[in-house]
């Protein structure tokens, strides 16, 4: 692009890393950034986006028909600072010819790292051990105290062998898990050839996996995929880790499964709703670990995301194909 700034208006609904914002401000005439460290209230967003040509939003923003209508006819693109885009009204965008971009793949390593952390934390009872050390429970050495499970020799099931699922599988493979099963729409030859992954039916994955990792997209087919019926088919020593979307798991059924010992433990980076109320039953269980949706929360990842989100917006406002454009 030339050094002349675009006579455009872009609204960024949250502070993002400077590398992305600096790029945006160097290319666009008017940039509005919501400076408070909380989600942009809907009414303020409706006011801010009036006349905007581009919106850079967060996963937590609901970009529904009302927001899009408030922006008006100038709106050319919506760029979300996330891999997921189910918070954007794609039908309304399609009607109005608005292009949508996201930030996929750049968060693969960060999310895979966090996913494996949750697997290890649940398997080795890390939060309980930390609490014991801090609370004074730590006394003389006990042969059977805080004994968790090793990963070596276990069977791991991946639900959704996309880029994140495959990255998780590769990491777990390095821990000497014995089998890697996966369930998804398509066969993943690279995963099969390089780490010996095996594509199986969902029921087979449930029945045979010691560790189940959920990294699939949230769709009508995957909503509450993990329900009471699914938990009944899982091993009693099974660990469930979800870094996909909260809606993939029926949380009421999960509470019941954890309370009754139907499954051993769960590690969740995503919930429904977000944030999860502090009085939710899942927080009362010592065999459930919950982190506040920090899958992509590394400095490296969030910086790259900021640049890609801006590049998507710039492309969308100049009629070019976005580097990461959502097809719908």
Distance CA 118, CA 126 (A): 10
Distance CA 318, CA 39 (A): 28
Handedness of CA 57, 61, 67, 68 (dihedral sign): positive
- For helices 108-123 and 126-135, give the axis angle rounded to 10 degrees: 60
Enter the tokens of residue 103: 């930030």
Measuring CA to CA, how many Å separate 127 from each of 152, 267, 281, 292? 21, 11, 17, 15
Kind plus residue range of the DSSP H or E element containing 95: helix 90-96
- 46: three-class secondary structure by DSSP: helix
Distance CA 287, CA 202 (A): 24
Distance CA 247, CA 223 (A): 5
Residues in a beta bridge with 213: 158, 241
Neighbours of 95 (CB within 10 A): 11
Residues in a beta bridge with 325: 101
Kind plus residue range of the DSSP H or E element containing 55: strand 54-57
Report the greatest alpha carbon distance in the chain.
70
87 is catalytic: no
Question: Which residues, 6 or more positions from 292, have their beta carbon under 8 angstroms from its beta carbon?
Answer: 269, 274, 275
Distance CA 46, CA 64 (A): 11
- Specify the DSSP class assigned to residue 326: P
Tell me which residue has tokens 């502090």.
Answer: 278
Catalytic residue among 53, 224, 280, 293: 293
So which residues are the catalytic ones?
A: 293
């Amino acid at each position: 692009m030339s050094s002349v700034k675009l006579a455009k208006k872009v609204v960024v609904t949250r502070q993002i890393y400077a590398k992305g914002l600096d790029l945006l401000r160097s290319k666009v005439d008017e940039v509005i950034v919501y400076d408070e460290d909380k989600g942009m209230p809907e009414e303020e967003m409706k006011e801010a986006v009036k006349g905007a040509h581009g919106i850079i939003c967060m996963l937590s923003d609901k970009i529904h028909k009302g927001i899009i209508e408030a922006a008006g006819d100038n709106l050319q693109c919506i760029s979300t600072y996330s891999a997921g885009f189910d918070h954007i009204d794609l039908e309304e965008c399609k009607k109005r010819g608005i292009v949508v971009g996201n930030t996929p793949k750049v968060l693969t390593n960060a999310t895979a790292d966090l996913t494996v952390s949750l697997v290890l934390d649940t398997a080795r009872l890390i939060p309980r051990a930390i609490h014991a050390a801090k609370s004074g429970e730590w006394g003389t050495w006990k042969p059977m105290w805080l004994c968790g499970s090793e990963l070596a020799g276990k069977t791991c099931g991946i639900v959704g062998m996309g880029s994140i699922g495959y990255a998780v599988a590769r990491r777990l493979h390095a821990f000497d898990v014995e089998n890697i099963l996966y369930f998804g729409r398509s066969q993943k030859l690279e995963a099969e050839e390089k780490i010996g992954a095996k594509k199986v039916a969902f029921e087979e994955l449930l029945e045979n996996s010691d560790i189940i990792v959920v990294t699939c997209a949230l769709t009508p087919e995957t909503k509450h995929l993990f329900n009471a019926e699914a938990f009944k088919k899982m091993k009693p020593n099974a660990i469930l880790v979800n870094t996909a979307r909260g809606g993939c798991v029926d949380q009421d059924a999960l509470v019941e499964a954890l309370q009754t010992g139907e499954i051993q433990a769960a590690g969740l980076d995503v919930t429904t709703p977000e944030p999860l109320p502090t009085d939710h039953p899942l927080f009362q269980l010592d065999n459930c670990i919950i982190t506040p949706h920090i899958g992509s929360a590394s400095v490296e990842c969030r910086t790259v995301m900021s640049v890609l989100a801006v590049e998507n917006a710039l492309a969308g406002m100049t009629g070019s194909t976005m580097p990461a454009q959502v097809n719908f």
